[in-house]
Amino acid sequence: MGIKNNIEKFQAELKPVKVRLIAVSKTHSVDKIREAYESGQRIFGENRVQELTDKQPQLPADIEWHLIGHLQRNKVKYIVPFISLIHSVDSRKLLEEINTQGEKVNRVIHCLLQVYIAREETKFGFDISEVEQLFQSDIASLKFIDIDGLMGIATLTENKEQIRSEFKSLKDLFDRLKQQHLPSNSQMKELSMGMSADYKIAIEEGSTFVRVGTAIFGGRENNLKI
């Protein structure tokens, strides 16, 4: 099975349920990304700013680039000119910096809030209560930000019921927020959850974006990491 077959298989599986595929191309070459592009894929996800800004100019301009990894505030300026969606906003300060840099290039930057749902210590993200507090605050004043929804990463485990319950906790928060009066620049329309190993569960639990790397491009070689 090559990249083309994998893309076609995912598109056939996701289209009927209206879930969009993000092809996670981190560590993979521009040639492999082009192969996926030629199979019809248009949304690609990267987790490092340096790698993203290296690849982006070498590839077609109609690709929608999504940042899915932790973003340092001093690197926001490099991606605001072209980024389509930042999945990994994990602090109020980062949101403010994205707003500042968005204003400089006169672009409203679409963001998701990354919520910590896993039972692991190392993951970034807001706690559920912090997200609720954020929406009670004055984020409507951040004119160059649109919050489109939430993102979460489940624990890396074989325990499917644990994964399901983590996705459910994110979906519950999403639904609760949806029923509230949200700030004018915030909506709950996108829920980014699910990766190669757990995307089927994520879809059953209400995902709108799945982020799939290995199941499309094959394994990643660590020494290719930039």
State the distance between the two ends of the chain, measured CA to CA, in whole angstroms: 27
Residues 14, 21: contact at Cβ < 8 Å? yes
To the nearest whole angstrom, how small is the minimum distance from the Cβ of residue 197 to ligand PLP?
Answer: 6
| Residue placing its CB nearer to ligand PLP in the complex, 24 or 98 | 24
Of positions 85, 153, 188, 193, contacts ligand PLP by CB under 6 A: 153
**118 to 147, contacts with ligand PLP by CB under 6 A?**
none
Contact string 174-193 vs ligand PLP (x = CB under 6 A): --------------------
**3 to 22, contacts with ligand PLP by CB under 6 A?**
none
208 near ligand PLP, rule: CB under 6 A: no
Give the DSSP letter string of 84-116: SEEEEE--HHHHHHHHHHHHHTT-PEEEEEEE-
CA angle 9, 14, 15 (to 5 degrees): 105
Instruction: Of 65, 92, 115, give the one whose Cα is nearest residue 183.
Output: 92
| Residue placing its CB nearer to ligand PLP in the complex, 142 or 203 | 203
Query: Rounded distance, CA 200 to CA 8, Å?
Result: 16
Binding site for ligand PLP (CB under 6 A): 24, 26, 47, 68-69, 153, 195-197, 211-215
